[in-house]
Amino acid sequence: MSATLAYEPYRFPAGMLALAVHGAFFALLYFGFTWQTRPAETMSVELWKSLPEEVVAPPPVPKVAEAVQPAQPEKLVKPDIALPDKKDKRKVEAKPVVTRPDKKNVEPTSAPQNPDEQNRAETDQRERIAAQQAAQVRDKAAQDAAAAIDAMVNEYKAKIITKVRRNIVKPPDVRDDARAEFRVTLLPGGTVLSAELKRSSGNPAYDNAVERAILKSQPLPLPADVAMFNRFRVLLLVFKPVE
């Protein structure tokens, strides 16, 4: 049995319509699923205590063109000699020109001094002179006192040496230029604490004789003023066979 294929013109548009409907359905499903899975957008809100003041920009300052100052005309110097009037036929005398001294060359005159300031200056000068004179007197007195003390020390040293020389037993064969130096330490009252030979005369016998004479001569003569003892606490005495 043979079948005959017949052409059906209405089937093609119907198929296209069904395909379009299915495509729209699948698109609706896809976009609906995508919209549901998208995370919700957050919105941040900033709170203000007060509305910010509106900043008003200052109006622009128009530039003013610098005014050009007109050049001033030079001042005319009037001559000191007056021009004669044409109508006046009398002789015109020239005015004398008075020259003023230059301020730089004029020496300033000293202003009169106040009497109080003058008296104060004179008093200060007298006080300075008096202070200088008093200082000179003190220096002179100090020099005189020092000279008196030195003279007293030399006097008592001479007395000590004289007393010691009286007790020296001179050994034989001593040269006349022999010189023995001793460092003598004293106690108050003239007691000899020590007698140390500082420089030998070259003759030990003479040196020993001088040392024995120093110890034998105590107490050595000292000034009565106790305050002067510091000048005699340690003495350097020189002894010679022939003075």
Residue 169 lies in a domain: yes
Report the CATH number that the domain containing residue 190 is assigned in CATH.
3.30.1150.10
Segment of 16-25, 94-103, 173-182 carrying the highest mean pLDDT: 173-182
Residue 212 lies in a domain: yes
Determine the pLDDT at residue 22: 79
| Rounded Cα gap, residues 146 and 153, in angstroms | 10
- Does a structural domain hold residue 153? yes
Q: Which domain holds residue 224?
A: 143-239
Q: Helix, strand or coil for residue 137?
A: helix
- Determine, yes or no, domain membership for 156: yes
- pLDDT (average), residues 118-129: 90
The pLDDT of 75-95, averaged and rounded, is 52
In a domain, 162, yes or no: yes
Q: State percent of the chain over pLDDT 70.
A: 60
Mean pLDDT of all residues in 170-178: 90
Where b means 16+ CB within 10 Å and e means fewer, 147-161 reads eeeeeeeeebbeebb
pLDDT higher than threshold 60 for residue 217: yes
Give me the mean pLDDT over the 72-97 stretch.
52
Would you list the DSSP string of 107-135?
A: PPPPPPPPHHHHHHHHHHHHHHHHHHHHH
Indicate the number of domains in the chain.
Answer: 1
pLDDT grade for 39, boundaries at 50, 70 and 90: low
Neighbours of 27 (CB within 10 A): 10
Angle between helices 204-216 and 115-166 (to 10 degrees): 110
Best-predicted range by mean pLDDT (51-55, 96-100, 126-130) = 126-130
Please state the length of the chain. Answer: 243
Per-residue model confidence (pLDDT) at position 104? 53
Residue predicted with more confidence, 145 or 81:
145
Which residues, in sequence order, are CB contacts of 207 under 8 Å at separation 6+? 180, 197, 200, 201
Residue 227 lies in a domain: yes
Residue 161 has what pLDDT?
95
What is each CA distance from 146 to 112, 141, 211, 228, in whole angstroms?
Answer: 51, 9, 31, 12
Q: Which helix (H) or strand (E) holds 151?
A: helix 115-166
Domain membership of residue 191 (yes or no) is yes
Residue 78: inside a domain: no
How many Å is the Cα radius of gyration of the chain? 67
Q: Are 158 and 233 in contact (CB under 8 A)?
A: no
